[in-house]
Structure 1
Amino acid sequence: MRRQILKSFKQLEHNPNSGPIEPNLTRLKKNHRYLVSGHYKLIYRIIDKQVIINDVFDTRQNPSKMNDENRKEE
C-alpha cells in the first residue's frame, strides 16, 4: 500500500493535472483534485506550480465525510 501511494505521489510530481477535480469539495472553490491509489484518495491542490497534498482519504468510508465540518479545510 505504501509503495502504491508513493508511486501516485511521483505521478503527481511529473503530471500534476492528471487528477480530476474532486466533486465532493467543489463548495470550497479551491480546485481540489484527487488521485486514487488502492483504497485511498489523495486530495491535493496545485498552488504556484507546487502540488500540495491536503488529505489522504480512505475510500472505504462514506464520501460525505469529506464534507464533515470537523475535517480541517486547507
Structure 2
Amino acid sequence: MSLSEPALALFRDHIARHGNIRVDDSNRETFRELARAGLMRAANSFTHGSEAVYRVTKLGFERRAELLGGLKEAV
C-alpha cells in the first residue's frame, strides 16, 4: 500500500491524539485517501454533517505499528 506523506502524518496524528482531529476542508481529502486505503472510515455528525468524523478501521488498527514507522505507542 502506498500512501502520501501527508496521509501517513495524518494517520500518525490521529492515533497519537486518539482521533481528536477536526475534519475540515484542509484535511478532508487526506482523510479520504486513508479511507480509500481501508485504514479509516467516514462517519457523520449531527452537528457537523457528513464526513465530519473519521474512525480507524480494523485494518488500520492491525497495521498501525507498521504505519507508525517504529514510533512508540502510548499505552
TM-score normalised by L of structure 1:
0.32
Higher RCO (Cα < 8 Å, 6 or more apart): 2
- Larger proportion of strand: 1
TM-score normalised by L of structure 2:
0.31
